[in-house]
A and B are shown apart, each in its own frame.
Chain A
């Protein structure tokens, strides 16, 4: 027994170091000065990387844009995915397979190809080069995943919980906030995280539809991928990775504040 526990600990340590060590290296890279091959640690340090990204005048506004964009995309995703996922999980209706296929097309067809066509339409209805145009285009690669995740959540939950609550006298709204949502939280978390990561990393779509009017962090960050300056790249990467985390904390906080039940185990 003791040996087994020790083995588990070792395995956990090994696994977590797989995640922690690269992040540490990245951080070290971002503050490294001279750091050449046989040396295990940088031989000098500099703030050059961090300095140059924070000097960028567009950073603050890009952060702000990215924030509001991602938040809007998340909320819209959840708003649309919940009813759709519920229908797909519990109802059978004519053309269900077709709708399922259409819903998952954006995963198979590159969103960029779809966006090309949408760009013209958005131009005509005056949404191109606007915040809402970009929000709309970000729905394309995110919504199918959200629906899929939430649908799996509904299927796991089953429809009987809701029926049970209804026969106990609960209204649809009450059932949603007290029964469904609390139990779908793991799915909601997963969806938020995925949507955030996908939305954050949309470079081509944002460029095309945003037309330079909507500048997100990805627009600042991606051109540096070709840069030889590893410090700048590393500093940007860390900043980029922090964003989904802040979202997760924010939403988690909101959930804890608003939902009446606090449970960790479901």
Chain B
């Protein structure tokens, strides 16, 4: 696959210190990459540097095999979508959507034709002559998306575009936006602090912290086998033992009685049900483990009462060591897992 975006050793320094530190990665054409991290990790700054709104230094900053590091924001074929839709309040919806064509000196007819086509794509044609303040938050983001897509950008940057929407609307928008992006074949970087959103939107995920990319990979790779403690804490689905060992949720099983534990069970822990919910027909249990003080969500065969005691177990092969300097939280050399009973 062709590389769309290729970055090596990108640095961004403010007076207070480094905001971005030797960031390097590449994105393939047509790929959607989620950039996940806690707030302050440098995600938004990274997008603004790529868009050219913020200055930065980089050993390599290439888009479609062209060095764009000296290009102005105006010249870069990149569109950035912010948290707020930032529709221009003094223009109609159609004028907003066609703004990118207007600056490229398209004539009015072309602009309107393209504008209406994209409005149709985002299902907003009947709003064409309204003003942004007459549209709801979700509608405004859809218009903003149309405004971004109309310029056929080589790269679309989305900075938590759904953060301001309510939960149910957010769920709907995720799937819908991903559908539109894939349909258009857009290469996109999608910034979010929401784990679930990152997994849903991204073909791949970059995990960011302290101004650098800690880890990258397909959603399943990252959630099931995080490289180190920090990634495990940010995105891993499972439990972390003594800051050194990770057991993926996929490898954990639940039984109701101690007697049901199989012989192969290596890691054993008693816990209590904190909540119970059903998604896509599957029952999930929210559990709190007594000794390791860990919370974990696991699929179960049937619903259980909150407060019920259960046993959680995993085979020895499921234990993954976590590397990286972050394990220094504990100097304890003894095994990270201490089964209550070894059978």
Contacts and interface: CB of A to CB of B under 8 A. Distances in A.
**Within the complex, are A and B direct neighbours (CB within 8 Å)?**
yes
A161 B84 CA distance: 10
B99 A170 contact: yes
Interface residues of A, number: 21
Contacts of A163: 48, 51, 53, 73, 80, 82
Contacts of B147: 168
A50 B89 CA distance: 47
Nearest to A163: B53
Given A265-B131, A265-B133, A166 B90 contact: no
B104 interface: yes
B40 to A, nearest CB: 19
Interface string A155-172: 000001101111111111
B1 to A, nearest CB: 25
A161 B74 contact: no
Interface in B164-218: none
Contacts of A174: 103
Interface string A161-204: 10111111111101000110011000000000000000000000
Nearest to B150: A168
Range, interface on chain B: 20 to 34
Contact of A182 (B74, B84, B90, B102): B90
A265 B78 CA distance: 31
Contacts, number: 70
Which DSSP category, helix, strand, loop or mixed, fits chain A's interface?
helix
B88 interface: yes
A263 B90 contact: yes
B88 A167 contact: no
B79 A167 contact: yes
B142 to A, nearest CB: 16
B327 interface: no
Nearest to A170: B103
Given A170-B74, A171-B103, A164 B90 contact: no
Given A265-B131, A265-B133, A168 B90 contact: no
A166 B89 contact: no
A162 to B, nearest CB: 9
A263 B86 contact: no
A216 B86 CA distance: 46
Interface string A219-250: 00000000000000000000000000000000
Which DSSP category, helix, strand, loop or mixed, fits chain B's interface?
loop
A179 B88 contact: yes
Nearest to B147: A168
Contacts of A166: 52-53, 72-74
Interface in B86-103: 86, 88-91, 95, 99-100, 102-103
Contacts of A183: 88-90
B151 interface: yes
A169 B74 contact: yes
B51 A161 contact: no
Contacts of A167: 51-53, 73, 76, 78-80, 157
A170 B84 CA distance: 19
A261 interface: yes
B86 to A, nearest CB: 4
Contacts of B151: 168-169
A266 interface: yes
A168 B131 contact: no
A266 B131 CA distance: 10
20 contacts: A161-B86, A163-B51, A163-B73, A163-B80, A165-B103, A166-B72, A166-B73, A167-B51, A167-B78, A168-B99, A168-B100, A168-B103, A168-B148, A169-B103, A170-B74, A174-B103, A178-B88, A261-B90, A263-B89, A263-B91
Question: 4 nearest interchain CB pairs?
Answer: A166-B73, A168-B100, A170-B103, A167-B80
Given A167-B53, A171-B103, 7 more contacts: A167-B76, A169-B103, A174-B103, A178-B88, A178-B102, A261-B90, A266-B89
Interface of A: 160-161, 163-172, 174, 178-179, 182-183, 261, 263, 265-266
Interface of B: 48, 51-53, 72-76, 78-80, 82, 84, 86, 88-91, 95, 99-100, 102-104, 131, 133, 147-148, 151, 157
